[in-house]
Structure 1
């Protein structure tokens, strides 16, 4: 069964902000709360939330937010797919540099999430995550954008 939620009117509202996320090294950082707060602060109604990571050695994903073992297993899978000791040619910034680029290639740098009534339409067990692929702490810049309609009322 298909369910639709339509709101008529022009797409006439857009907003953007930069979110700086400190990381501690490899792992997942949940940024769902910050993305939801952005939508609330701007008075978003219906539209699309975009999330963009301004880096090539960190990435974004939508993943399960209930069981932390999922993140542990995903990190293990990324380590298997892009190990640090593979003999990479590109090592300008250290042995974790090229594996970080491959891991970003396997995940993504941009997400598009539908928004209805000012809230991201995520599934029950979904969260928005920044994935740090480098060994050292970093300060990552994430651009949050909204395109759609302002909340009515």
Structure 2
């Protein structure tokens, strides 16, 4: 089976947000797969996707704090500044973190580890709604 659909995520504040349940709930055909893969591709260049700790929100805070420290918005050599001081740092963070993940599907569910969750990294102060392409493949 192949299935592809676009998911729309509501606007979120800058930082990292767990979206595992939102993704699973938006994909009713996920339940049809006994074995397969889900590929998620974020259709933006100033946000990211990653798989990480799903229990302690301090992990999401700390990763955001680390990125803000390493990629500040006031670096004098940035040329791409017309969209605001947070835009170029957001592009860098998205490139470092990545904009796609591929996850195993087992028995109609995402095969995540006990402490794993899908995170959306919002790297803009006001990034707006985000879109994902979700592609399911399996049997």
Residues 1:95 and 2:122 aligned together: no
CA-to-aligned-CA distance 1:1-50 (integer Å, 9 cap, x gap)? xxxxxxxxxxxx011121111223211222111222245x1122211001
- 2:10 is matched with which residue? 22
Q: Distance in 2 between matches of 1:16 and 1:77?
A: 34
Corresponding residue for residue 45 of structure 1: 34
Give the structure-1-normalised TM-score.
Answer: 0.84
CA distances 1:110-142 after superposition (whole Å, capped 9, x unpaired): 100011111111110110011110011401001
SS class of match (1:50):
strand
Contact 1:22–1:137 (CA under 8 A) maintained in structure 2: no
TM-score by length of 2: 0.92
State the superposition RMSD in angstroms. Answer: 1.2
> Which of residues 53, 56, 61 in structure 2 aligns to 1:72?
61
Per-residue deviation at 1:86?
Answer: 1.2
SS at match of 2:34: strand
Contact 1:18 1:142 in 2 (8 A): yes
The alignment of Structure 1 onto Structure 2 pairs a total of residues equal to: 136
> Which residues of structure 1 form unaligned runs of 5+?
1-12
Match of 1:131 in 2: 121
Structure 2 alignment gaps of length 5 or more: none
